[in-house]
Chains A and B, each alone.
Chain A
């Protein structure tokens, strides 16, 4: 196949937008693991729940136009933050001293429970938001302008998380708690509150991401399972607990996948997981993780 500039650019855009979808989902997963050492298998299911809640808020307000969607996304994010805080307080907090398999079992049970709650409340039909998006013609090819929104949101969330963790007092406390929670506690800082805040933030980002994706893809039962596998690939490549690593890992997976579809479509997914295998073999703590965390 001829690789002209337009094709390379459109495929690059497709890859980066795919990367940002993965980043928005995986960043919360990575943040929660990095700070709390909890591997939340139900993270993508919380994302799905956020999507359904945002959908209902949007429909409840009349279901017309991007402004109402933005309001619904903010509402959905707040609801998910509250649900995240409650989940941490009543479930996750009991698991901090348990082994990883027990944590995984609990969060897997949470995945099933939340999935069934979605089924009971919203039924089994897909839910999506229709915005009348017209394709943009750029250099002889068509581009979905909503991909620019996804990319902008992904970059903004990455920058916001970096600023929060590096430049704010609360962020410094969170980072300190990663390395020595006893010392932080000895300073009179309430670790459980920090953890609750981090878990709520991680789940809120997932809820926010789901709302942003609604005009792009329908929310449907089972999508969470597919996405969580890809998210694990991203955080394994980037390094658990590293936001920068998650960002780079997402870009790597998104762009490699996009170009593999052009060059070797049948092996696109295999190429991504070959990278995962390579990272696990030669740098098991990920590209940007630390051996300490590993």
Chain B
């Protein structure tokens, strides 16, 4: 691997990762699924998995890596004969268009028509919550690997959903840990927020404001701005933020909108005057904006591979990913979380010794599993995995990678238990809605 890799070559890596590799991976997964079927006389009935992710809309930018991760992981498991060595995995993929109505329609269809036993996905908490209504009614397992509104495991809790990513409350809390330190250090007095006007954006922003209010009560919220999903022109918002003259801005922005906002805010000079700590800067942003992303900017990631290079499962996954997608390809946060979800499911099936949904659900309850982010345990009262809540760090070039990563010397990794809803009693109060 070369740190001086040319931009053109890197662009071709990114491009080849989505179209050609996706097709190759899909075909590979398909072949891997069918090959052992003829090889083994012991084959049991296939295990049907529904994969609901958007390849259209603001979430499409993240779904590519996630789809590849699921295809690669299932192909690898199928090459061993499938779950329990005899149940080949069949992946039924559906595009949610990042729209809750489409997500709900596709979830219902994939459950009723394809008889899937588990639904993996989706991007956008609003979509995930729409799916939850259906999986709860149909008693189907739901592995939420990306959508992370805290409502998914609290207010909208169902025992059929297992959360593999840090929820929005945990994420906001981890940014607060870092920002509170910066407030002390820099003497900041005020801030403004900007967020996507939908479930996740609102939850993330309110979680941040609430947690920051407790951690640094003297800092004043001067302005809140909300924009519709898919916004293309941020100039007016950026001017309004700069006019409010806050010391820092907190952004609850993800997906394509995040890239557009950072690109336009940089060109409009916002980062010269106002700090922007804790905005989502996952491996996707680091790769795609490798040239333009301001070095030194403090970002938040959900599951960056570079934070867990010591973990055996992460090492195995990176090796697999690079073998399939090229020496310079590294898995995104979204890929890591989906990879963990598939292997988490496999570990539960091995523990249960069965592919029956209720047996897997029971095996997952409070289970400790191996993940790319280390060993982690599902919280008994809401099925939230206690993986790190957030990774906050400064963007910095690194000689080993063709894109910047976080400064590993100063990166803060916040523990789930430090920032999630403190007690199970508190969680149960929030869960009253469905009860």
Contact = CB atoms under 8 A, between A and B. Distances in A.
Interface in B244-294: 244, 256, 259-260, 263-264, 266-270, 272-273, 288-289, 291-292
- How many B residues touch the partner, as a band? 35 or more
Contacts of A64: 7
B326 to A, nearest CB: 15
A144 B266 CA distance: 9
Given A120-B19, A121-B19, A147 B269 contact: no
A223 interface: yes
Nearest to A261: B236
B421 interface: no
Given A121-B19, A123-B18, A261-B225, A14 B269 contact: no
B3 interface: no
A126 B233 contact: no
Contacts of A217: 232-233, 260, 263-264
Contacts of B296: none
A59 B55 CA distance: 23
B288 A261 contact: no
A226 B268 contact: no
B42 interface: no
B235 A17 contact: yes
B221 to A, nearest CB: 14
B232 A10 contact: no
Interface in A254-272: 257-258, 261-262, 265-266, 269
B184 interface: no
Interface string A134-176: 1111000111111100000000000000000000000000000
A125 B64 contact: yes
B270 A14 contact: no
B63 A124 contact: yes
B362 interface: no
A18 B231 CA distance: 11
A110 to B, nearest CB: 16
Contact of B226 (A59, A136, A257, A266): A266
Contact of B236 (A11, A128, A130, A135): A11
B15 A10 contact: no
B232 A226 contact: yes
A21 interface: yes
Contacts of B11: 59, 63
A218 interface: yes
Contacts of A147: 235
A225 B256 CA distance: 14
B22 interface: yes
Nearest to A257: B236
A227 B231 CA distance: 9
A220 interface: yes
A18 B7 CA distance: 31
A14 B236 contact: yes
A115 interface: yes
B18 A124 contact: yes
B242 A142 contact: yes
Contact of A122 (B8, B19, B239, B269): B19
B267 A146 contact: yes
A163 to B, nearest CB: 28
Contacts of A134: 267
Given A216-B263, A217-B260, A266-B226, A18 B22 contact: no
A134 B231 CA distance: 22
A15 B259 contact: no
A222 B237 contact: no
B228 interface: yes
A11 B231 CA distance: 17
A14 B239 contact: yes
Contact of A11 (B14, B240, B264, B291): B240
Contacts of A257: 236
A143 B225 CA distance: 20
A134 B269 CA distance: 7
A137 B226 contact: no
B372 to A, nearest CB: 22
A258 B236 contact: yes
A212 to B, nearest CB: 13
Contacts of A223: 230, 232, 256
B256 A126 contact: yes
A181 to B, nearest CB: 37
A93 interface: no
Given A143-B269, A144-B264, A266-B226, A11 B244 contact: no
Interface in B156-194: none
B135 to A, nearest CB: 25
B61 interface: yes
Contacts of A142: 242, 268-270, 272-273
Interface of B: 7-8, 11, 14-15, 17-19, 22, 55-58, 60-61, 63-64, 97-98, 224-226, 228, 230-233, 235-240, 242-244, 256, 259-260, 263-264, 266-270, 272-273, 288-289, 291-292
25 contacts: A7-B239, A7-B243, A11-B236, A14-B238, A18-B233, A59-B11, A123-B15, A123-B19, A124-B55, A124-B61, A125-B64, A125-B288, A133-B267, A137-B269, A142-B272, A142-B273, A144-B264, A144-B267, A216-B263, A216-B264, A217-B232, A222-B98, A225-B230, A226-B230, A258-B236
Interface of A: 1, 7, 10-11, 13-15, 17-18, 21, 59, 62-64, 115, 119-126, 128, 130, 132-137, 141-147, 213, 216-218, 220-223, 225-227, 257-258, 261-262, 265-266, 269
Given A125-B61, A134-B267, 11 more contacts: A10-B243, A18-B235, A59-B8, A135-B267, A144-B268, A145-B267, A213-B232, A217-B233, A261-B237, A265-B240, A269-B228
